[in-house]
Amino acid sequence: MSDPVLQPIKGIGSQLIDDNDKPVSGPGVFISNSKTLSANNTTANVPIFTVVGSVQILAIYGVVTTALGNNTAAYWRLNDGSNTPSITLSTGTTLSSVAAGSVIVKKGLAAAALTLLNNSASLVSEPTTLETSYFSPFVATQITAGTTNIEFVYTTTDTPTTGVITFYCQYLPIGSGSKLQTV
């Protein structure tokens, strides 16, 4: 029995192509980056991915791989050096003492906090009837002639805090040369 063939994803108003000017098909491109959290009694802005061109983010999430210390007001944002639009609610989510194996996800609009799937107890997390998929997609665009990063922002009172999160992103490039890169 052969594997099913995935049909190409069609762009709406633009052609989704890779660095070789070939159409992107299937579920898109996956990228990951592991970050050690080590801020010392402050708010930290941790660059995760650099946006090149424009990309449609289909999913962004993080998996805790080493238990977290004090970690409050956690959220994702873009940062181009002067403008910092929120990807999730900037008042954030408390992630203090979250165990390895727990997951954080962007599940709603930018006005909603990131969602913690804490593995301290079994749980079911699903989209509401208004959502079309579990993750909440969005488009990120690089500033002209500059660097735009996707950042994980958190506040800690630990001196320093601890923990490791591996961040994952599934995306589609919008135009030639568009992509995400690890920072």
Query: Which of 16, 11, 10 lies closest to 29 in space, CA to CA?
Result: 16
Q: Is the predicted pLDDT of residue 12 greater than 90, yes or no?
A: no
The kind and range of the H/E element at 173 are strand 164-173
Question: What does the pLDDT average to over 89-108?
Answer: 96
- Residue 115: predicted pLDDT: 95
Q: Is the pLDDT of residue 36 over 50?
A: yes
142: three-class secondary structure by DSSP:
coil
Residue 81 domain-assigned (yes or no):
yes
Residue 66 CB contacts under 8 Å (≥ 6 apart), including other chains:
36, 100, 162, 163, 164
The answer as to whether 85 is a domain residue is yes
Confidence at residue 11, expressed as pLDDT on a 0 to 100 scale: 42
Residue 169, domain member (yes or no): yes
Question: For residue 119, is it within any domain?
Answer: yes
Q: Average pLDDT for residues 166-171, to the nearest whole number?
A: 96
Mean pLDDT throughout 46-60? 96
In this predicted structure, what is the pLDDT of residue 22?
Answer: 63
pTM of the predicted protein model:
0.85
Of the candidates 45, 35, 44, the residue with the CA atom closest to the CA atom of residue 159: 44
**pLDDT > 90 fraction of the chain, expressed in percent and rounded:** 74
Domain membership of residue 16 (yes or no) is no
What integer pLDDT is reported at residue 94 of this predicted model?
Answer: 97
d(CA 50, CA 36) in angstroms, rounded, equals: 18
Look up the domain containing 92 and give its range: 32-182
Indicate if the pLDDT at residue 23 is higher than 80: no
Least confident residue range of 13-27, 85-99, 112-126, 138-152: 13-27
- Domains held by the chain: number: 1
Residue 49 lies in a domain: yes
Mean pLDDT, residues 37-62 taken together: 97
In a domain, 7, yes or no: no
Mean pLDDT of the 29-53 span: 97
Residue type at 2? S
Tell me the average pLDDT across 102-115: 94
User: Does a structural domain hold residue 21?
Assistant: no
